[in-house]
Amino acid sequence: MEEENNNVICPECGEPFEKHNIAELAEMTAAGITNQEFPNIWSKKKQELKQMSKKELAEEMYFAGAFDMFSSFHGMIEKIKEEQDKYL
Ligand SMILES: [Zn+2]
């Protein structure tokens, strides 16, 4: 397969990312971040989290998710910029 292909490939299915709709990408990204980051947060903050109310806990985890999502996007943007420099 020598066709010109600047598409980013999906590590899940090997197809170009553009074949996925936004909702699928959002779900995969969120699932990936959760699988990757939740064990860290849990082992680091277990004691703290166990003392929180359910509302505080939900808030704390939502914040952690939002924070990780931003960090992850920022990382992706840097990566995409690096990749683009090779082609432009
Ligand atoms: Zn895929």
The conformation of residue 9, written as its DSSP 8-state character, comes to B
pLDDT of residue 3: 55
Report whether 1 contacts 17 (CB < 8 A): no
pTM: 0.63
pLDDT tens figures, 1-53: 555 556 788 877 888 878 888 898 888 888 988 998 899 999 999 999 999 99
- Ligand 1 centroid to Cα of residue 82, in Å, is 22
Query: Half-sphere exposure (CA, 13 Å, Cβ side) for 82?
Result: 6
More confident position, 70 or 87: 70
- Ligand 1 centroid to Cα of residue 25, in Å, is 8
Report whether 17 contacts 25 (CB < 8 A): yes
Helix (H, G, I), strand (E, B) or coil at 81: helix
Residue 73, pLDDT above cutoff 60: yes
- Ligand 1 centroid to Cα of residue 21, in Å, is 10
